[in-house]
A and B are shown apart, each in its own frame.
Chain A
Amino acid sequence: MLFRRIILNALLVGVVASFVFSLLQVYVVNPIIFASETYEVPEEAAPVADHHHGEEAAGHSHSHHHDEEAWAPEDGIERTAYTMSANVFAGIGYAAILLAVMSQLSLQGLTRVSVLKGVAWGLGGFIVFFGAPAIGIPPEIPGIEAAPVEHRQLWWMLAAGAVAVGLLVLAFAPLKFKALGLVAIAIPYLVSAPHPEGPAFSHPDPAAVVALTDLHQQFIVTTSVSNLLFWLVMGVMSAWVLNRWVLTPSVLKGLGQDETANA
């Protein structure tokens, strides 16, 4: 059954791709998050120039100033374990969507996926789910000033959804419809992403603002590289499992298509 095969293979692709991502995250991305958190100022406390949360030397001060009461994983192994689990789930979710779209377009005879085309699918996924939202709302470090999270989440979904539709139309729709793909891609940027008034960092210490600005630049670079590699693994591996384990002769037969139906 097609659904079952997509989900099972999404588990495999998601685990492998998120493992690659987790390695990069633990070594180059998370240190920037932890360093940023040492500059977080608790909302209830008066701004104090040299205030840091706890052990700044360890670079691990962990506090979510907006919900101190809520459960959070302990810093260290527990926090890393939750992060890696969340990465696995994100990988599985993305892989399920990618494999489903690849399958559908293949079954309709609009494409014949190969490992080489998997690179293009991976780039597409990177553009849709990282690049498109990040153009409007660059990857954020803790402590950055931002518009209300619900607004940013809605815009994120609009950007990813519209650019996904736009790229698919550009790639697979008949020529006369391709202009509509460009229109779809433009929509989120015409709406424009929600941004707060004022400076990106409101930390009272100018030196901290300089440090945070520098951390933010590093964060944008390292997350871009990590997510690009994540998506290249996703694209190539999804293409490979699609031909090997998803659209197998028996599945195609079950769907009433012979092996050459999507040639």
Chain B
Amino acid sequence: MTTQVSSAQHAKTHVKVSSLAQTAAAVIFGAVVLFAVGFLPTDAAHNAAHDTRHAMAFPCH
């Protein structure tokens, strides 16, 4: 019984780290994509996303 509890606890700890790593990776993915659309200073990136940057209230020009 004791063993079962401790192994369950171990599994739960492992799970939290694992899911946090995955959700954090998804947040980073989203942030990188948003940076490219809204913030990348390269002229071509700015011009391609120009109207989106204005419409979504990202700083532009």
Contacts and interface: CB of A to CB of B under 8 A. Distances in A.
A87 B14 CA distance: 37
A70 B43 contact: yes
A7 B60 CA distance: 28
Contacts of B25: 3
A134 B60 CA distance: 13
Most chain B CB atoms below 10 A, which of A33, A90, A95, A129: A90
Interface string B29-61: 111111011110101101111111111111111
Size bracket, chain B contacts: 35 or more
Nearest to A133: B57
A153 B39 contact: yes
Contact of A7 (B20, B29, B52, B57): B29
B57 A86 contact: no
Interface string A48-87: 0000000000000000101100111100000100110111
A163 interface: no
A146 B41 CA distance: 16
A249 interface: no
A61 to B, nearest CB: 14
A139 B57 contact: yes
Interface string A241-263: 00000000000000111000000
Determine chain B's interface SS by DSSP, over half rule: helix
Contact of A96 (B18, B33, B50, B53): B33
A70 B47 contact: yes
Interface in A74-109: 79, 82-83, 85-87, 89-90, 92-97, 99-101, 103-104, 107-108
A262 B30 CA distance: 25
Nearest to B44: A71
A156 interface: yes
Nearest to B15: A256
Contacts of B32: 93
B22 A64 contact: no
B22 A1 contact: yes
B54 A33 contact: yes
Nearest to A148: B59
Interface in A104-119: 104, 107-108
Contacts of A1: 22
B23 A93 contact: no
Contacts of A96: 26-27, 29-30, 33
A256 B11 contact: yes
A70 B55 CA distance: 22
Contact of B55 (A10, A25, A79, A137): A25
A38 B31 CA distance: 33
A7 B29 CA distance: 8
Nearest to A4: B22
9 contacts: A2-B22, A64-B50, A93-B32, A95-B30, A97-B26, A101-B27, A139-B57, A140-B60, A141-B54
A30 B56 CA distance: 11
A223 B27 contact: no
A85 to B, nearest CB: 8
